[in-house]
Amino acid sequence: MRHLLAAYDLSTDKLYGHVKTKKGRSEFLAFLRYVRSLHPPQVRIAIVLDNFSPHLSTKKDTRVGDRARANNVELAYSPHYASWLNRIEAQFTALRYFCLDGTDHQSHEALAFLIRRYIAWRNRNAQNKALRELVKRANVA
């Protein structure tokens, strides 16, 4: 099984993603370090998250919240059952449409390669008419 850890930068209209074999707190923290590295440390960034357990800061394991506070990052959690409020969801709709629908991959590695290729294409072609229309429809739905 593979998991996509992804971030969508609203200011640059760029999608970032890492395909991992696990989607636990350690992998999430490593991805947060990557996202933080995309901007100068003095620039405060806000990250909208769903309520998936590795995203949460708990009394037992506060690494996510501690890391955010120490690195000028604000974490904003979407309400339960309201993932549509997170602007990255429309980007996932486009990824499924352009990259995954109707495909059958020989391996997890082949799928991960295709996803990485899609993200690179998407960032080079962010103004593609079909992509814009699909994202617009997904944002309204």
Each residue's pLDDT tens digit, 84-105: 778 888 899 999 888 888 888 8
Task: Report how far residue 55's alpha carbon sits from residue 134's, in angstroms, rounded to the nearest whole number.
Answer: 28
Instruction: Report strand pairing: 14-20 vs 3-9.
Output: antiparallel
Residue 29 has pLDDT above 70, yes or no: yes
The mean of the pLDDT values for the chain is 89
- pTM for the full model? 0.85
Query: What mean pLDDT is predicted for residues 71-87?
Result: 85
Task: Report how far residue 31's alpha carbon sits from residue 95's, in angstroms, rounded to the nearest whole number.
Answer: 19
Q: Can you give the pLDDT at residue 141?
A: 62
List, in order, residues 6 or more apart from 111 with CB less than 8 Å away. Answer: 2, 19, 105
CB distance 94 to 122 below 8 Å? yes
Environment class of 47 (CB within 10 Å of its CB; exposed 0-12, middle 13-18, buried 19+): middle
Task: Report how far residue 44's alpha carbon sits from residue 58's, in angstroms, rounded to the nearest whole number.
Answer: 23
